[in-house]
Amino acid sequence: MSSVRTPLRPDTLLNIRNVLRFLIPSLAGITIFLIPFRYDDTIHVGMSFMAGRMQDVLGGALPIIAVTFFWISMLVTLWVKFRNPNWASGGIMHEIFHTNTFWLSLRIAGTLLATMTLIGIGPSFIISEDTGGLMLNDLITVLFAFFFFAALCLPFLVDYGFMEFIGSMVRKPFRWLFNLPGRSAIDATASWFGSGTVGVLITMQQYEKGFYSKRESAVIATNFSIVSIAFSLVVINFVDLNHMFIPYYGTVVITGLITAIILPRIYPLSRKPDTYYEPVGRQLVEEKKFSGSFVRDSLLKALERAHNAPGIKGLAKSSFSNLADILLSLLPLVYAIGIMALIIAEYTPLFTWLSWPVIPLLALLQIPEAAEAAPAVLIGFTDMFLPAILASGIESEFTRFVIAALSISQLIYMSEVGALILKSKIPLNLLDLIVIFLLRTLISLPIITLMAHLFFF
């Protein structure tokens, strides 16, 4: 377990060098992850803009590049599994390539299924545009570009004092409302403006560094890593309700805040222990550490973090380690889990059967076309965009509004966020995710319906 550093004296911390070590990287991180701007009639943050430009430049080469990384991941993991070379006995190489049989089988499955989709050879349920094509050409290429820049730039946001500054400033309201540390506000903001998967990535790293307990990391990953404003615009446009974006996104925000207040206080999240990731223990206490005002205390904590932050060499090592872990470890698993979920959704009647008990609930809430809307209520567990696809054929604007807002508020979808959480060290299993998804749905649906009644009648 890591020992907690003794705080440095304020007069030691308050100097130009520490202030610049705090301000320059933090401002870079804020600019890249948190400041939205409009370009070509689309809302971006710096990271999403860079990711979009990468997709424009590389275009059709991105699926090939992604599958190449899948093959590297699979072959090297098999080599490490059976030969156990010395270079993989510790450090980042050990973390990436030493894996159990279950995760290895998923890497193999993801690699082979992605290759079949790429070359267009195999059963239609694997390579069709609704399953393998959607995963490889849409989701994986987007994730590849997002994660490329997120992994390289994330240390600017989390390692140079900004998390400490904001966390200390807002710790009281976040503890009171959500029973969470104040630094989790950064996760939420990065998700809203950037990407839900980036929010999960921040949570994973903060948990593994000892800044979040097991309970806190589970709560944050399942309540604050929502999809971005940009994707919300895509969803509301797809269901042909773009003129209602402001009430729609207001509904999403209100619903998200209410569920984030309720869910941490009930099973299964309330049962997660407030213990810390074993290799590091607790590294940060957000309570007041320095004398003076909260602003002074927050600033001194930020300067202390900046003082102890890595230099250029350490920053480069951290960034490229993050990138290697994501491209070689996470993405093949996301593909494998995502395509399996989409195959079940598209080629089996499972979600139709599961939606039968939902029809009376929708009818009770006076939602028009309840039978047609019911499958869209549950299918969001597989992918965040499938509810909008199903809802686009529904005549009632009221119902399309409800489904569009619900699909964003449910948050747990296996094609991206769910797969990332399962692969991470955050203490959540598949059953936990299913229960949390259902609870989010049951809590969100009445709230969204009430808001829809206000807007439409």
Is 3 part of a structural domain of the chain?
no
- Token code pair at residue 76: 């090297």
Helix (H, G, I), strand (E, B) or coil at 38: strand
Is 336 part of a structural domain of the chain?
yes
Average pLDDT, the chain: 86
Is 435 part of a structural domain of the chain?
yes
Measured CA to CA, the distance from residue 235 to residue 408 in angstroms comes to 9
Helix (H, G, I), strand (E, B) or coil at 319: helix
Please give the pLDDT value at position 108. 96
Is 89 part of a structural domain of the chain?
yes
Measured CA to CA, the distance from residue 440 to residue 391 in angstroms comes to 19
Measured CA to CA, the distance from residue 183 to residue 202 in angstroms comes to 11
Q: Highest-confidence range of 2-16, 165-179, 205-219, by mean pLDDT?
A: 205-219
Please give the pLDDT value at position 95. 83
Residue with tokens 């099973």: 267
Is 267 part of a structural domain of the chain?
yes
Please give the pLDDT value at position 2. 41
Measured CA to CA, the distance from residue 306 to residue 22 in angstroms comes to 5
Please give the pLDDT value at position 9. 67
Is 193 part of a structural domain of the chain?
yes
Query: What is the domain range of residue 445?
Result: 10-456
Measured CA to CA, the distance from residue 4 to residue 211 in angstroms comes to 12
Is 299 part of a structural domain of the chain?
yes
Closest C-alpha to 109, from 412, 419, 424, 321: 419
* Residue 42 φ then ψ, to 5°: -130, 140
Query: Which residues touch 383 (CB under 8 Å, ≥6 apart)?
Result: 134, 139, 338, 341, 342, 345, 413, 414, 415, 416
Give yes or no for a contact between 22 and 303, defined as CB atoms under 8 angstroms apart. yes
Inform me whether the pLDDT recorded for 202 exceeds 90.
Answer: no
Question: Per residue in 224-274, pLDDT tens?
Answer: 877 767 678 778 887 889 888 889 988 998 999 999 999 999 999 999 998
Is 5 part of a structural domain of the chain?
no
pTM for the complete prediction? 0.80
Q: CB-side exposure of 157: number of CA atoms within 13 Å?
A: 29
Share of the chain above pLDDT 70, in %: 93
Domain count, the chain: 1
Measured CA to CA, the distance from residue 438 to residue 105 in angstroms comes to 28
- Token code pair at residue 83: 């030969």
